[in-house]
Amino acid sequence: MELAVYADEAAFDAFAEIVATAPGGGAQVHVSDDGGLTWIRDPSDAAGGDAAPPCQHDRPSLAIGLVEAVSQALDCLRMREQAQGA
């Protein structure tokens, strides 16, 4: 999982997205800072198979779940850093 930040120098703007990569690297989920959700699957990934039905999720609930998971991870990291500094 990573936080990708992009700069738009023409519009003097920036945006970010959380990128979660599936184990083995065959697919990625991108959750943008405006709530957009993009699923990208590597077409050369034979393990994914073409016969599999498309994943359907409640997009707002999925985005909220991802944000909660990342927030919890950041809270744990911050607490660990504070404990090491004490």
Separation between Cα atoms, residue 72 and residue 75, nearest integer Å: 5
Tens-place pLDDT, residues 46-62: 555 554 555 666 667 77
Maximum distance among all alpha carbons in the chain?
Answer: 54
Tell me which H or E stretch contains 66. helix 59-85
Residue 54: its pLDDT value, please?
55
Spatial contact of 27 and 47, defined as CB atoms under 8 Å apart: no
Answering whether pTM is above 0.85, one says: no
Q: Whole-angstrom distance between the N-terminal and C-terminal Cα of the chain?
A: 28
State the average pLDDT for the chain: 75
In this predicted structure, the answer to whether residue 83 has a pLDDT above a threshold of 80 is yes
